[in-house]
Structure 1
């Protein structure tokens, strides 16, 4: 496997390639499949050689090949995983006791030194994993089966933070010179990653030495299929058992019994560049805000399989709406006089280019001149982060990392946030986020989060448009695929394909 970036063009698979080249002939005929492997079609190819220090970590997590010290339940509460229990030992320190008898795929055993190594590499990585934005973390061994984790500032959500797939614990052999992390044969989950072919496909095998219950499926064959039509065709023809993120446009063409809508903490947001270009003017940002017809986007692009956004946090967080206060006073809009806006988005999510078309029409009607830019995400992210666009449409997960929105808000809206596409830097927002970050989980923290959201919305730096529901495809033979709103798990040890022999 090459651990360097492979050209994104290699990941663009046509429907024909998906149906003929990604899965074996035996797998195309479930009635004759002997080993009951799972065939998975995923939305995006690896962006960073499947290093867990990047967003590729969520692929490793969704395949159940890597694991973290803790995991989250449906309420976002921390639960045991590679750590069996923990306690706060000081304002800035926690002690985690490790699970005994955990073996990595390369045969090595989980111990304190392995955990310290993994967390230390993550803490010193450049760029730092998103979950560690604004966090200075140190890990030291406390005997052979316990670790003490210290942060520079009090962090009441440290256990939840350590549940992020970007902080997965891999065997020490995974970490190579030069910051390279090779996840093959290095995880501790029920499936072992054994092969990765660039941005085309990957192969996993059942790991017989798993500390929990062995996987029911003998392995996973993964294909990376950015083309939404091809993913829909894979489910329709039976070439794939589980299909990630079926586009809304494809859903009506499929057997409705095979598709499942999962409410997501994911918001389709328009980020406006507050530092460069015409969107520096708050009155013009307000004009953009007023021009957007959210209901039209929900009805026409998402075919009513989404919810109109009232704020950054949607119905997947049911506590948010009752705590939300009107933005006061809202900035008054100035009538545009033909100012040109460069509106950009990416093609990996099939709905976003269509959203861009509707937005361009709405903004043109409001008096702007709109230029559209659409590329694959891997080819547009760096330009978006560098502030090269006036407006950027992003489908953004709001609690992806810790089960808590503060990390997302800091990443996107703090002065030093690593994903600050809006180029925003406001001391009052930074202070509100800092205030929320030090409050323990509970009602007071939720109130502080909504106060920070109110300040962000008042800038019109980010205009939430709608909250998405992901459409997951599962063949009739699949049992116990995971429908996870946080997009952390898709296949676990219980997932299997139940087939009938001829």
Structure 2
């Protein structure tokens, strides 16, 4: 992971950030009664649904180590024990054995009935948590086990149950139509207070079943402005800072910055159903024209990784399984006119589009750009309105497994198939990957599916993004998690 060089913040920027920060961290206690220091965290996005675990807010609960799931994932993406200690599959049914001695933050015990309640609420929610999209799942408690049954045989059930959106909470969380996680988790920190979209507080839970947290608590402030988050780290008002913008990173002390590879790939999708890129030789010409290292250097200031495939360094097993590809020879564009679409919501993409325009025009294409907000361009992208589309795409979604992303984006029946790809060899490889049991065999099948997609040149991966995290000098044990599921753990403390 790359460390960044330090510079001084311009006076005007510092003044602006100071105004933004006024009152953000005021009154936040640094030291608890037992002498330990509470951890002050500046997070980018405020809650969107009152911290309901059935939404993306669940990832905040996970990053604060307050809500837990039956299983978690190791670095390879394989399921390992958490609230469940063991599991086994029999056809469509998986049986999970629960950990003994676990209590919720309100003092009630973790039981099979509690797990059934939480998972059933998720499975019957409208809309469902994203991890259960298209999955028909039922749960039944029996003694110290729960059985999870799906409509079709699903080798990914344990990985699905690792999603923070399927956290197990106490009965008190489900008293109304919404789900309230305050005081209802099982993790080393107990959520005690949520102040709307401005802040949240957590205290150490001394009844935790695992390792006791080293810090007495966490004080979270939501700071959407990136300059203000960077200023909070610089001024010492925050101990851990999420998602520092590239523009601010070089202004900070290099020893406070860590760049974490993300499971996110910036890809140029080429429309294969109609227009210029129905010709595989012209798709190959576009692929050959793209200088991805120049984009990484010029647009991302070197703070991204040049793509070697659709899956990047956040999946450390991927590159070692790849073999050389047989590629179609490029044809001659001859001035062929194409329109490239992208969106403004991710600040770098319009500049990426301009760089691609120059590279493709140099290769002989005539290129027009169309840039809008994502909400106003997604439907056109999916309907095939553009010859090409630039997208920053998460590659492992919620299960920690990339097969779902590959199917969604490149299967002939995929729901997010911007390239409109319909290739029998790709479909066959994707089906095999989806059906293969987890572990080394599935990883090899996934890479074979990736190779089948790349051989069509329907998608040209350019780079893999990184997230920049700030940790103050006294912080020890903060997590740097590519999946953004962990941040403050039981081992995190401020010395």
Same fold (TM over 0.5): yes
- Tell me, in whole angstroms, the C-alpha distance in 1 between the residues paired with 2:385 and 2:27: 46
The aligned residue for residue 159 of structure 2 is 160
Judged with a 3 Å threshold, the aligned counterparts in structure 2 of structure 1 residues 142 and 331 are, in CA distance, closer, same or farther, namely farther
The aligned residue for residue 11 of structure 1 is none
Judged with a 3 Å threshold, the aligned counterparts in structure 2 of structure 1 residues 84 and 385 are, in CA distance, closer, same or farther, namely farther
Within 5 Å, which residues of 2 pair with 1:276-425? 288-321=286-319, 322-329=321-328, 332=331, 334-335=333-334, 337-347=336-346, 350-363=347-360, 366-374=365-373, 387=383, 390=386, 392-414=389-411
The aligned residue for residue 4 of structure 1 is none
Q: Give the superposition deviation at 1:464.
A: 1.4
Judged with a 3 Å threshold, the aligned counterparts in structure 2 of structure 1 residues 32 and 474 are, in CA distance, closer, same or farther, namely farther
Moved more, 356-365 or 396-405: 356-365
Structure 2 residue matching 1:368: 3-state secondary structure: strand
Q: Give the superposition deviation at 1:277.
A: 8.6
Per the normalisation by structure 2, the TM-score is 0.83
The aligned residue for residue 490 of structure 2 is 493
Structure 1 gaps of 5+ residues are: 1-13
The aligned residue for residue 3 of structure 1 is none
Q: Give the superposition deviation at 1:130.
A: 3.1
Question: Would the aligned equivalents of 1:258 and 1:476 in 2 still touch at CA under 8 Å?
Answer: yes
Judged with a 3 Å threshold, the aligned counterparts in structure 2 of structure 1 residues 263 and 335 are, in CA distance, closer, same or farther, namely same
The aligned residue for residue 25 of structure 2 is 23
Question: Would the aligned equivalents of 1:345 and 1:394 in 2 still touch at CA under 8 Å?
Answer: no
Question: Would the aligned equivalents of 1:346 and 1:380 in 2 still touch at CA under 8 Å?
Answer: no
The aligned residue for residue 37 of structure 2 is 36
Q: Give the superposition deviation at 1:430.
A: 4.2
Structure 1 residue matching 2:200: 3-state secondary structure: strand
Q: Give the superposition deviation at 1:448.
A: 1.6
Question: Would the aligned equivalents of 2:263 and 2:314 in 1 still touch at CA under 8 Å?
Answer: yes
Judged with a 3 Å threshold, the aligned counterparts in structure 2 of structure 1 residues 281 and 55 are, in CA distance, closer, same or farther, namely farther
Question: Would the aligned equivalents of 2:282 and 2:330 in 1 still touch at CA under 8 Å?
Answer: no
Question: Would the aligned equivalents of 1:287 and 1:336 in 2 still touch at CA under 8 Å?
Answer: no
Question: Would the aligned equivalents of 2:384 and 2:419 in 1 still touch at CA under 8 Å?
Answer: no
Match of 1:465 among 462, 465, 487: 462
Question: Would the aligned equivalents of 1:139 and 1:150 in 2 still touch at CA under 8 Å?
Answer: yes
Structure 1 residues 13-67: Cα deviation after superposition (integer angstroms, max 9, x where no partner): x73455222212455x889996622121223333444332333322221111210
Question: Would the aligned equivalents of 2:31 and 2:38 in 1 still touch at CA under 8 Å?
Answer: no
Question: Would the aligned equivalents of 2:76 and 2:317 in 1 still touch at CA under 8 Å?
Answer: no
Q: Give the superposition deviation at 1:244.
A: 1.5
Structure 2 gaps of 5+ residues are: 1-15
Question: Would the aligned equivalents of 2:174 and 2:180 in 1 still touch at CA under 8 Å?
Answer: yes
Q: Give the superposition deviation at 1:281.
A: 7.6
Q: Give the superposition deviation at 1:153.
A: 2.7
Structure 1 residues 449-473: Cα deviation after superposition (integer angstroms, max 9, x where no partner): 1222123334544331112333221
Moved more, 123-132 or 65-74: 123-132
The aligned residue for residue 449 of structure 2 is 452
Structure 1 residues 121-161: Cα deviation after superposition (integer angstroms, max 9, x where no partner): 33333443333344332221122x21011223333332222
How many pairs are equivalent? 476
Within 5 Å, which residues of 2 pair with 1:45-194? 45-88=46-89, 90-143=90-143, 145-175=144-174, 180-194=178-192
Structure 2 residue matching 1:192: 3-state secondary structure: strand
- Tell me, in whole angstroms, the C-alpha distance in 2 between the residues paired with 1:125 and 1:392: 33
The aligned residue for residue 207 of structure 1 is 205
- Tell me, in whole angstroms, the C-alpha distance in 1 between the residues paired with 2:268 and 2:100: 47
Judged with a 3 Å threshold, the aligned counterparts in structure 2 of structure 1 residues 257 and 146 are, in CA distance, closer, same or farther, namely same
Q: Give the superposition deviation at 1:492.
A: 0.9
Moved more, 79-88 or 31-40: 31-40
